[in-house]
Structures are given as structure tokens and as C-alpha cells.
Amino acid sequence: MAGELASPTPALRGSARRTAALRLLRRRLIQAVPLMLGVVVINFCLIQMAPGSFLELMTAENQVSDPATVALLRKTYGLEDPVWMQLLKYIWALLHFDFGFSYRQNMPVIQAIWIHLPATILLMVSSITLAVSVGVAAGVVASMKVRTFWDSLVSVGAMFFYAAPSFWLGIMLIVLFSVKLGWLPVGGMMKIGGSGGALDILHHLILPTLALGLFYAAIYTRVMRSSMLEVAQADFVRTARAKGLSRNKVTIHHVLRNALLPVVTILGVQMGTVLAGSVVIESVFSWPGVGSLLFDSVSSRNYPVVLGIMVLGSLVVIAANIAVDLIYMWLDPRIEIR
Amino acid sequence: MTIKVSRRVFGAGIVATGLVGTSGTSFAQGTPRRGGTLVATWGGGEPQACYVPAGGGSSPTFSSSKLFERLALRRMDGKFEGVLAESWKPSADFKSYTVKIRRGVKFHDGKDMTVDDVVYSVTDIWKKYAVASALTDFAGIEAPDADTVVFKYNNPTPEFFFASTLCSPVAYIVPKHVYAGSDPVTNPANNAPIATGPWKFKEWVRGSHFEYVKNENYWKKDEPYLDRLIIRYVRDPAGRAAAMEAGDIHIGVFNPVAPPDIKRLTATGKFVATPKGYEEAVWSTTLECNMRNPVFAKREVRQAIFNAVNRDFIAKTVYYGYARPGTSPIYSPNKEFFTADTFKTPFDPKKAAALLDAAGFPKKADGKRFTLNLLSAGWFQENGKVGAYVKQALEDVGIGINLTVPDRPSSIKRIYTDYDFDLAISNQANPSEPVPSTTQYFTTDGILKGVPFRNASGYSNPDVDKLVASIKVETDPAKRKALVFEFQKIITQEAPLLPLVELESITLASTKVQNHSNDPNFLAASWGDLWLAS
């Protein structure tokens, strides 16, 4: 929900900017309520439409054949209520920060997610950091060396990482850096039985970050390159040059700052897809994150956990887009987001 | 029996010859070396809990069997051996068994294991969850003294049946002081078990691994040889192969990697692969007819279905040689009860067509005799491929097929709850004792709507019910064997459900790992006797 941009207006300054930012924050938070409600209702209904239920799978795995036991389980998990009643109960529970109970993990959903959440957040943050830094830097280099060998190299590299499936890239990285060179661990988040210190985790984080982040870096590279070239033709850049500013100063202070806007837009939109991408990468690297939990929960029809992850994922996307709107205002003070 | 793993490892090609060189190896050389950490994995995912009282499938069986112990186990040579039981003997009428319990066994929390724990485990865990279907005749258990328990049955109970019950993979002795007064299914100890086995639970890093440490007070004074056992979960077979190649994982059971990787890794000389260790859990891919469809009323139609399918082709093509044609509901590795002297339904499309013609189903103008819905259970990747082949084979004899391959929960619901199929491709894993694990697919009391891996075909035959009832109470081993042979003859002729192929499961291990694959259900063995060569 990155905002619609009003026509450039004279730059807001000082307290006026803060007021505008708070107004924007308030508006976005109000808008988030119906949005979250929509996410919950749609996901709940989609899950209800899927064939097979977690109760059937649970009774199957536990070989429960006694009808009385099945009836008791149906009551325990609230499945004897009509679907609309289950939905209302779920929304009411959510309002009280109760995400339900996961029979499979035998613990509250929020606890099951909480166990896996730090690993996923770490992977997402590191991947996005890598993607943005590498993507922006490569895009800037390509735009400054346009139609040279460096431009071609960056373009080919971006094309390669964009086209390479992340699971394949992950396996290739494992084969090269873990199996052949023995430099990095094959998988996991820390050395088993080790202290789990920051360096150990960092050591394990490198390959999954590369596998997940390079795809997005490729996108940012292409967007950044074209955005830089476009902004470089703008009147204010020509004016800056006419004022006698150095090339680097023009590039960094005028072109780069304005060229970042499309990257920031994509970044907000892609928070959800990075989370989705982590499902695959976490599988390849045995990374104990929410992606693995989601995969298991879908295949075991563990609906409370699936819904919980979707709700939290939606919250992350909404929060990211609010942050994007605020960054917009910071990057270009002329912009007032409606 | 529940199924919760993917056999995607069979997805790409290797021929069986890749394993021949290791099939006779004992995997144990020299004096056991003490110490070290063994890292293991398996061809499936992480369990829902470390221990699931009702079994819960192969994954929790793998994780819990290193911690918990059973009263007895079956050895590779087919003989039974006491674990927490020292001995057992039947009464003269075979209606009770007196079991001497091992003394001096302690739980991991230091408390003594007593007959009270055995009585509690049998009455509150076995009878209600773990082996309920094998205890239908169970009348109770008593502890006349501190060393003895007496199992009582309503009817004569064969020795092989009784011993097999004691050996059931999840017939564990659990600590009464931990479970009594709680719901065993939701007891928090299921995620950090306290048991009597050679390994003590240390940690479960969800999504990653279990860490077990040596039980210093284990009743077998020499075991375990290793200091630590790690069970790692790597979802992707290629990731498992890489981890094994990098030396991060020493052993993988139940098809841990893809067949080409088995060949590649064994070719390095650093790994061995073996089909040994699965004799008490032989898997099969089965085809069953829904008897509720009037088309299957005549058994000739059912026989024709099996005559139309080339099982040898399935074994060689779909499973790349890691399978053999199935001929009987009792599988060929079963030395006690398998017989080759059964009714045969060999691949013979002409005979199939003739049987269908004779049964009153000639080809119509559109070339079809009738159309069936074929459901291939989607829990194993290969089932879809088998389904695609069976569709072609049956269409060749004029049977129209609508094939669907639903995912695991949908397959369970459609086959075992809704009976929403005409033909179903499914899977079984059966031990040597045929009652009830094999027979419940054919007896009337096995028709339990909503209970998976039972009689979903709806086949009901009073003669079979009577025969199985006789097998259940026949205490003379020779007579019992003859009855099971008779059972196989009837079922292969009636053909409501038959195995298409018997599957070969593979263990891949580093050559450093010693003493592996030495149990007929190695996945569910304690692994206290494994060690690492220097």
C-alpha cells in the first residue's frame, strides 16, 4: 500500500514534516484495520475450502477410531461450530492476541511461531540488506559506466541471478562452498552442540543469505540502473551540473537520492515475497525458521499455525509499507503522501 | 500404520546393482571404539513430537526409539530377545503369559523402573493408543510380585503373536510417575522424554535437530559406545547428500538421498548403502478395489485389473529396481508366513480382456467397458507415477480411468473417510506377524470409517473373517502357518487389495559407522551398539 504521490509541493520543513508524518502514520494504521480483517477472512475461508482437515490427519496419525474420542477432539478444537462461528471466534481471539493452539506442536500458536521467528527475521534482514546494498551499488556502477564492459557485466550478472531458481542456487552454493571447498557449513543455524555465538550464526548465515538475497539484488540492480539513468536526465540535475558541482556530488546528492524511490517502493512490496522465498531457502539449508514451520503446517493442515503465520506476515508487509511511505517523505521532502 | 514421509528419493535413476556389493556386509569390524558423536538423519521430516504415544508414524518412532525401550525385540535371525523383559512363557491354555521383568533398570531421572511402570504402560498406553488393535483380546495385566507381570487374554494367544506385540516399535515402557494422571497425548514429557534407553534427551532445536547424550546408568554396562547422538532433519534429499558428503552427517536411514546420489557417494568408497534393516517393516505399493462399486462384485473383474498391470515394469521403471513384484498380502521377506503357493495374477492383458468379457463387460462402441476413478495417494511421489502407468495399462484393456493424485490429507480423507475412489494406489508397511497389521485390510472388523490404513475397500467375506479368527487363536505354530498360507491363497484369488510391488528401503552410511543395519527394523532400534571407527 505504498502511497499515492501528490504533485510535488514545496518542501515541508521541521515540525510541519513531523506533523505530516504522524498524520500519515495515523491514516495508515486506520487503513490497516480493514486490511487485516480482509486478510484474516480471506485466508480463513481459503483454508476451510481446502480438502482434508487437521483433525482427520491427527486422528489418522494417532489411529483414533473411537467416535466418542473424535467427537471430543472436534469439540476441543471448536470444529463442531459452523464455519462463520469459528471465524468470529477466531477474530475475537485475535483481538485478544490469542492465535489459537497448535495440536501438532502441542503448544500455543504464538509460541510455535515465536520459536522460529528470530531465525526467519535474521534471514530476511540479512537477505534484504544484501539485496539492497549489492543491488544499489551495482545499479549505480552500471549507470555510471553505461554501455561499457562493467555495465554489461552487471547486466549479465543480474540476469543470471534473476533467472536462477533460488533452490538450485542454494544447492550449487552448498556444493561449491561446503562440499568442494569446505569453507562454510552445509546447513543449520549454528554448530550442533556449539555455543551458538554470533560468529557461529554468521558463519551459517552466509550461504542462505546469498541464495535468497542475490535474486532480489538482481531486481534492484536493474531498477536502480534505469532509475539512475532516468533521473540523470532531469532538469534539476542539469541545473546542479550547471552550478559547477562535481560529478560525484551530483550523483550522490541529487541523482542517487531521487533514483532510490523506485527501489524503496519495490522493497516494501517485496517484503511478503521475501518471506515466501524463505520457505524454499529454509528447506534447502535446514534453517529453522517460520518458512519450515509454514511448510510443515500446510502439509499437515495445521490451520491455526498457517493462519497465525499469514496474519503475522501481513502485519510485516503492512508495517514495511508504512515504513516505505515514511522513507519516501524523508527521501523527497516535496512529497506529501495522501 | 501411518505414513508421513516422502519417498521422493526414488525420483531419479539408479539401478539396483549399485547396492549389490554391500548386501552381505555385516558393517561391524573389530573391537568397538568408545566415544564420539554420531550424526544421523532419515528420509523424512521432523516429527510432531519426540514421542507420540499412539505411534504417529515413522518420524516420531525414529526419534523416540533411541530413548525408550520395549520389553523385547526381534533379531535379524528371526529369534526374539528380551530387552526390559528377561523372559516370558505362556500358561498351558495360552490365555496368559508370565513375563519376568529386568531388575536394576533406571529411568533417566534416576527412578527405578518397576512392574508398576509396565502395568501402567500396557493398560494406559498400549491398550489405549500404541498397540490397541493387537490387544482386542487383552483381558488385563497383573503384577503378582516385584519381578513379574502376567498378561491375560480372553482367548488362546499364539506365542509368536504375543512376542510380536512385545516387540511392536512403539510398545514402550513409559515412566508412570511422569504420565499417570495426565493426558498422555499432550503430556509435555513427549517433547523431552524420560525413559530407560541408552540415550538421554538433551535438547530439541525445532526445525534442526535432536541432541541425545550417553545414558551413564544404562543397564547394559557396555552401551552406548558413543557419547552423543544427533538426529538432524534436512528436508531436501540433495541437502542431505551434500551434508553427508561434507561429513556433517554419518548415517541416513529410510532412503535419505536420491538414487543417483547413492551411486555417487558409494563410488567414493567413503559410504556404504544397504537394504538390510527393514525386514520387519517391509513397504509395499498396493492397489485396492472399492467393493462398494458394483463393477467389482465379480472377483473376475478384480483379477482382470491385476492381470492388466505389469508389476515387473513398475518395479524396474518407477522404482529403478528398488522394488520387486508383489505376489501376496504377506510379503516375501517374511520368513515365518510368506508362501509363493498362491493364486497368480500375472501380467496378461489378453486374459484380462477375456475375464472382463466373461464378466459381462464387453467393449462398447467408444472402446470402453466402463470408467473408474483411480486415486493415487499423494504422500509418496512415486505413487503418482504408478498411477499414470496403471491408467495406461487399464485403458489398454478398455477400462476408462480418471486419475487424481491428491496430497496427503486429501488422500487420507478420500480413501479412508469418504471412500471416494474406485481404485486406490496406497502403501503399507507390515511386520512379520500378520494379525492384525495385514489381516485388518481384509476383515470386516477392519472396516472403520475415518481410520486410515485399514479396510477401505469394504471387502467383507465371512470365510476370511473366520479364517483370521482362527489364525488369531491357533497356538500350534505349524497349524497357524498353514492357516496363514490358506489366507494368502484366498486373498490373492479374491483380489480386493494386492501389492503391486514390495519396496526396498535403503540405509546410506559412512564407512566409519559400525554395527548399523543389524536389526530387522533398524530405524526403530536403540542404536546403543553403534560405534565410529577412528
Start-to-end C-alpha separation, chain A: 11
CA distance B203 to chain A (A): 9
- Angle (CA) B53 B517 A194, round 5°: 70
User: B282 forms bridges with which residues in the sheet?
Assistant: B430
pLDDT of residue B6: 38
Q: Is B209's CB within 8 Å of A57's CB?
A: no
Residues in chain A, pLDDT under 70: 1-14, 61-69, 193-196, 333-338
Assembly ipTM: 0.70
User: Which of A327, A130, A141 is closest to A251 using CA atoms?
Assistant: A141
CA distance A125 to chain B (A): 20
CA distance B376 to chain A (A): 15
- Rounded CA gap, B498 and B328, in Å? 7
- Rounded CA gap, B430 and B499, in Å? 12
Q: Is A186's CB within 8 Å of B248's CB?
A: yes
Parallel, antiparallel or unpaired: strands B148-153 and B96-101: antiparallel
User: Which of B314, B407, B299 is closest to B358 using CA atoms?
Assistant: B299
User: Quick one: cell of A148?
Assistant: 561499457
pLDDT of residue B142: 96
Out of A178, A288, A301, closest to residue B206 by CB: A288
Each residue's pLDDT, cut to its tens digit, for chain B (534 residues) gives 333 333 433 333 332 323 333 334 456 667 899 999 999 999 988 888 899 888 878 889 999 999 999 999 999 999 999 999 999 999 999 999 999 999 999 999 999 999 999 999 999 999 988 888 889 899 999 999 999 999 999 999 999 999 999 999 889 999 999 999 998 888 999 999 999 999 999 999 888 899 999 999 999 999 999 999 999 998 888 889 989 998 889 999 999 998 788 889 999 999 999 999 999 989 999 999 999 999 999 999 999 999 999 999 999 999 888 899 999 999 999 999 999 999 999 999 999 999 999 999 999 999 999 999 999 998 888 899 999 999 999 999 999 999 999 988 889 889 998 999 999 999 998 899 999 999 999 999 999 887 888 899 999 999 999 999 999 999 999 999 999 999 999 999 999 999 999 999 999 999 999 999 999 999 999 999 999 998
Residue B89: phi, psi to the nearest 5? -150, 145
Question: Of B135, B182, B205, B212, which to mutate for an interface test with A (greatest number of A Cβ within 10 Å)?
Answer: B205
Which residues of chain A have a CB within 8 Å of the CB of B237? Answer: none
- Rounded CA gap, B204 and B78, in Å? 35
Which residues of chain B have a CB within 8 Å of the CB of A296? Answer: 45-46
- Rounded CA gap, B240 and B234, in Å? 6
- Rounded CA gap, B534 and B529, in Å? 16
Out of B2, B234, B416, closest to residue A61 by CB: B2
Return the axis-axis angle of helices A290-299 and A109-144, rounded to nearest 10°.
Answer: 120
CA distance B366 to chain A (A): 33
Looking up cell 480482509 gives A38
Contact in structure between B64 and B172 (CB atoms under 8 Å): yes
Out of A60, A288, A289, closest to residue B452 by CB: A60
A-chain residue closest to B212, CA distance: A193
Q: Is B406's CB within 8 Å of A106's CB?
A: no
Q: Is A187's CB within 8 Å of B188's CB?
A: no
Residues listed for chain A: 338
Contact in structure between B199 and B229 (CB atoms under 8 Å): yes
How does DSSP assign B265-302, residue by residue?
HHHTTSEEEE-TT-TTSEEEEEEEE-TTSGGGGSHHHH
CA atoms within 13 A on the CB side of B130: 25
B409 Cβ under 8 Å from any chain A Cβ: yes
pLDDT of residue B112: 97
B208 Cβ under 8 Å from any chain A Cβ: yes
Which residues of chain B have a CB within 8 Å of the CB of A106? Answer: 48-49, 186, 188, 190-191
DSSP reduced 3-state for B399: strand
DSSP helix, strand, coil percent of chain B (3-state; round to 5): 30, 20, 50
Contact in structure between B228 and B493 (CB atoms under 8 Å): no
Instruction: Compute the count of residue pairs across chains A and B with CB atoms less than 8 Å apart.
Output: 148
User: Quick one: cell of B426?
Assistant: 496406497
Q: Which domains, ranges and CATH numbers included, belong to chain A?
A: 110-331 (1.10.3720.10)
B213 Cβ under 8 Å from any chain A Cβ: no
Quick count: other Cβ atoms within 10 Å of Cβ A22?
10
A-chain residue closest to B407, CA distance: A299
- Rounded CA gap, B86 and B100, in Å? 5
CA atoms within 13 A on the CB side of B13: 2
CA distance B8 to chain A (A): 15
Question: Of B38, B136, B182, B248, which to mutate for an interface test with A (greatest number of A Cβ within 10 Å)?
Answer: B248
CA distance B243 to chain A (A): 6
Q: Is B246's CB within 8 Å of A186's CB?
A: yes
Return the axis-axis angle of helices A303-331 and A14-49, rounded to nearest 10°.
Answer: 160
Contact in structure between B56 and B190 (CB atoms under 8 Å): no
Contact in structure between B466 and B272 (CB atoms under 8 Å): no
Q: Is B48's CB within 8 Å of A104's CB?
A: yes
User: B274 forms bridges with which residues in the sheet?
Assistant: B507
Which amino acid is present at B273? A
